[in-house]
Structures are given as structure tokens and as C-alpha cells.
Chains A and B, each alone.
Chain A
Amino acid sequence: MMILTNLRRRPSRTAFTAAGIAVGVATIVALLSFTQGLSNTAAELTHLGGSDLGVFQANVSDPTTSLLPASLVARLQRKPYVQDATPLLLMVEAVRPQPGAVVFGAQPSGFFARRLVIVDGRRELGAGDILLGDRLAAHMHLAPGGTLTVHGRPFRVAGIYHTGIFFEDSGAVMALASARRLTGRPAEETNIVVNLSAATSAAEATKSIEREFPGTQVISTPQQALRAGANSTLISKAILVIVVIALIVGAIGVTITMALSFIERQSELGLLSTVGWSSGRIAALILGEGIAVSLLGAAFGLLLGVVGGDLLVRVLGVGSYVTPSFTAWALGRGLLVGVAIGVLGGIYPAWRVTRMKPLKALSGT
């Protein structure tokens, strides 16, 4: 009764404190959702074209900057544990109006290109042709016969495809030879996607490939994909730091607010002590107020984080790279951080209450 009454009687203070917490929680929720989105994106990168694994250059800051010699595909295909392998040349930020769209240079005869389900137009890829994912086509309002400019060169849209993989459907596919000419890399590819023979596990194949082909790294799980990219690791660490900073700043803010409230309300707290409330009970009241206002802030923060995160991705047009993924765990962590801020912020004033002398408090000094 007292907790809610006390919060209601100071609406401005409650609102501002809750707003501060809401911003912190929203930031955390948005960042966690982006991290999860990165992981999801990485998962899709792992299984491009429905492959079991991808082979990349080792020790690159970002898998999309990987470079492998063209000769590697044939050597891989000879391995007994490989059922099929096909090279890809990835071009990022190649489509000016949609910088998030990835253009895949793929062998038309490879399983990556064969797996594309053509929903409009034709599959055949001539030298000046390109296939568009249905999401990219919808975004750019393009249909077969239209033109897409890649790295400043116009390509005729031959067809529209759908794979069900967000990364691919938001991008485009051209012939590997065209991509090599466009990038000036006649004998290189970014990565090789591999389908394994039925009896081979991804873990076994990973060990074999990395042993037999030095300088390569195999990505077969989203975790490996995240680890492979120094940028993703950097982002994850940065997010951790931001979460901790938000926690500290939020807790300091709530502590200051609660401490001011404590000073202002000494007479009232002294009265509660006088009528028989124990120090622990009064401290619980103070702590309870801190937690209640934090829960209020956290609730708004969750809403703000979900809506704001989605909005941010749309405004920045980076939906192809990362789509915020709001898991229950991310929302739960946001809520936990909000409550933690309330607890941490209420601890000092609550401790002060336990040392309060009722007579002195009654006089408000």
C-alpha cells in the first residue's frame, strides 16, 4: 500500500526515475537483440545454399573479406568426405540503394545456384544477367527485365528467386565469372560452401579440412561464425561494456534519486519508526520503492527497446546484415538489469534508514 502511494505522490520524480531506467533497459534490450540478430545472420552465413559448412580464409577480421584460391574447390571435391563443393564470391555494399544486400557470385552449375527456387523469370545467367532475391526485388520494386546496378555496372534482372534464407533472399546472385570480372579477382573466391557425404559429421570434416588445407578455417556453427569475425567479437564485447555501463549509470541515478527522497522524507520515516516500524521494515519500504520504480522503468524500457530496435534497423537500412531478434532471454535480461538497478539504487538509502535515529529524523535534521 505504502510503496505505491509513495510513488504516486511524487509523479514527476517517479516518472523521471523510471524514464532514466527505461532508457538504460531499452539500450540493453536493443543491443542484446542485435547480438542475437548477428548470431542469426551468422547462422545463415554458415549454411549458405543449404550447405553443411563453409570454408573461409583463416584469421580474417570478417568472413566476407576472406579470399581463397580458385584451385581449392577441385582439391576439396576430391576428398571422400565431401559430396559437393562450390565456390562463392561475396560482394558487400555493392548495391548502392540497398547497402545491406549481398551479391553472390556463384557457378551456375553449382548446388548453390541450382538450389534457388525461381518464382519469376528465368534461371539462366548470362554475362550481364543477375537474379534477385524476392525480398530485395520487393524493396527495390524490380521485376525480370529490370536493371540492377552493381558496383556501378548495370545488370539485367533475369529472374526472382526465393530460398527461405534471409541473407540470400535479401541479396542477389550473378555468375561467378561476372563477379570475378567485376571485382578484378579472376582466380579467387570468398569462400567455398560444402555438402558432406552422408557418413561424415561436420566436426570430423572441420578437423580434416583445417588440417589438410592450412590457412583455411571451417565454419559449421553460428558460434564459429561469430568467433571467426573479429568484428562480431568486438561488437559482442562492446555490447557487454555498454550493458555494464548502463547498469552502473542507472544504479547511480536511482541511488541519487532515492537518497534525495530519503533526505526529504526523514520526518516521515522517523514517524514510521516512532509508531513501531522496525528499521528493517522501513528499509524494505525504501528498497521496495526502488524496485517498483525500476520495474515500471524496465517495462517501458522493454517496449522502447523492441520498438526502437526495429525502427533503427529500418531507418538505417541494415536489415540484410542484422535483424533484431527479441528472445525471451534478451527481454528477461533487460528486466533483470532493471530490477538490479532498483536494488542497487535502493541499497544505500535503505542502509541509511537502518542507522537512522527516530528522534533526529522526526525533527527532519
Chain B
Amino acid sequence: MSDPAGAAVVVEGVSKRFGRVPALTDVSLAVGSREAIVISGRSGSGKSTLLALIGGLEQPDAGRVLIDGEPIWTRRHPAHVRRDVVGFVFQRHLLLDPLTAQANVEVPLLGAGLRPAERRRRARSLLEQVGLADRAEHLPSQLSGGERQRVAVARAIANEPRLLLADEPTGALDSVTSERVLDLLFDLRDRLGTTLIVVSYDLAIGPRADRTITLIDGQIVEEGA
């Protein structure tokens, strides 16, 4: 999407350095509502940093990021953006070990003003959506790698985000499990109308997305369908 007007996500001239090392340099990007894009590039190209900036996990040194037309670092604390607008899936599932699958899915819902019964009901429903209703009371240590990542996906969509950000979501999975997780992410995009941005070095994901953006040394060098 080249026209930023009406875009779900707009990245305007964003730069970011970590110490003396430039991670991103003057990057601009617009992602439409319900669009699914893949950001690819080698390790260290800045793709995870770009995702972190879009999700409000990092603040840009220059430029700005807008979600639904509003800059995320000026309107409210980005924690609220992460709670209300964005869902994250990472390469590592980052589930909380002592909590069951269901309790992990409930974590983002704590403080959302829901009654415990409603919170449990919603978490159970999310686990059903990712095909893990029968694993609700299992601890992460009792789940396979693919199951843990699906729980992480359920957690990411718990607050019904308009934007789903996935950073190497299949990086730690075998090929069969990777396919299932990708099926799930793109299926959720289709069913829930979520905007999906996936960071991956795996070029095989490209055909699933509406667009692929390639980063090299912190700059967008290629953008194509």
C-alpha cells in the first residue's frame, strides 16, 4: 500500500540507533487495514526493530509511527496501545511457566475490566479457535512446541487487536508445525479482519501475504506483491 491515507499503520521517516549502531534509517511504510505483509531480510537487517517500533516496544529516534492515523508515542502511553490495539507473537512463545495454557491466555485480559468468569470464557473460546480446547489446563511444560506457539497466538488475539505483529513466529518450529502456525495466523487475519505483519527470514511465507518488504542494513530495498 503506497498511499498512507486511511492506512492502518503508517511509518514515517523512522530512524533508530542502538548506541552507535544504526538499526533503521529513514524508513517509511504504510500498511492497509486487513492487509497481510511479510517483512523479510537477513539477521541484523532491522526487521525486528521495525516491528518493535510499530508495536510501541521501542521509541524511534526520528520519525513517527501512526496507528489508525494517531501517533502511538504522543496520544497515550504505548502500553495502552499494546493492550488495546496490538497483539504480539514472538519466535519464543514466552508463556509463563507456572500458569496453565488458559491462565496464560488470560494474562492480557487482567485489568481489562472483565469479570473472572467472562475472562475464563473468553480464554477458553480463544483456545478453541487455535484448536487447543482440550489442552486448556495443561502447563507449558506439558505442551509441544507447536502447541505452545498456538497458545501464544491465542494470547496475542485475546484483546481482539486490530493489528497482529508476529516476529519470526515459526523460527523455532519444524516445517509441519510451522505450516500449522502460519495457517492459523493467516486464517485469523481472514476471519477477524486483523491487519497482519509478519517478520520472517523464510521466503516461503511471501506467497501467503499481500506484500513482501525486504530490508537490508536498516533500509527498505524492495517492496512487492
Contact = CB atoms under 8 A, between A and B. Distances in A.
Contact of A359 (B58, B79, B96): B58
B77 A278 contact: yes
Interface in A1-58: 1-2, 5-6, 8-9
B224 interface: no
Contacts, number: 58
Given A6-B98, A9-B98, A272-B107, A277 B79 contact: yes
A277 to B, nearest CB: 7
Given A1-B110, A2-B110, A272-B107, A279 B79 contact: yes
B211 interface: no
A278 B80 CA distance: 7
Interface string B72-105: 0000010110111000101000101111000100
A276 B98 CA distance: 20
B120 to A, nearest CB: 11
A276 B90 CA distance: 15
A97 B111 CA distance: 66
Contacts of B110: 1-2, 277
Contacts of A230: none
- Main SS at interface, chain A: helix
Contacts of B55: 274
A350 to B, nearest CB: 16
B155 interface: yes
- Main SS at interface, chain B: loop
**Interface size class of chain B, counting residues whose CB lies under 8 Å from the partner chain:** 20 to 34
A275 B97 CA distance: 16
Q: Which of A2, A268, A274 has the most CB of B within 10 A?
A: A274
B163 to A, nearest CB: 13
A271 B94 contact: yes
Contacts of B111: 277, 281
Contact of A358 (B57, B97, B98, B158): B57
Contact of B57 (A1, A274, A279): A274
B45 interface: no
A5 B100 CA distance: 11
**Interface size class of chain A, counting residues whose CB lies under 8 Å from the partner chain:** 20 to 34
B159 interface: yes
B145 interface: no
Given A281-B111, A358-B57, A362-B90, A276 B79 contact: yes
A8 B97 CA distance: 12
B113 to A, nearest CB: 13
B108 interface: yes
A268 B107 contact: no
A276 B57 contact: no
B90 to A, nearest CB: 7
Nearest to B152: A271
A273 B111 CA distance: 13
A224 interface: no
Contacts of B83: 275-277
B52 A276 contact: no
Contacts of A206: none
A270 to B, nearest CB: 8
A6 B97 CA distance: 10
B28 to A, nearest CB: 21
B96 A271 contact: yes
Contact of A268 (B80, B90, B96, B155): B96
Contacts of B57: 273-274, 357-359, 362
Given A5-B98, A5-B99, A359-B52, A276 B58 contact: no
A64 interface: no
A274 B88 contact: yes
Contacts of A274: 55, 57, 82, 88, 94
23 contacts: A2-B107, A5-B99, A9-B97, A267-B94, A271-B96, A272-B107, A273-B79, A274-B88, A274-B94, A275-B88, A275-B108, A275-B158, A275-B159, A276-B80, A276-B82, A276-B83, A276-B84, A277-B83, A277-B110, A278-B77, A278-B80, A358-B57, A359-B58
Sorted nearest first, the 3 A-B pairs with minimum C-beta distance are: A276-B83, A9-B98, A275-B108
Interface of B: 52, 55, 57-58, 77, 79-80, 82-84, 88, 90, 94, 96-99, 103, 107-108, 110-111, 155, 158-159
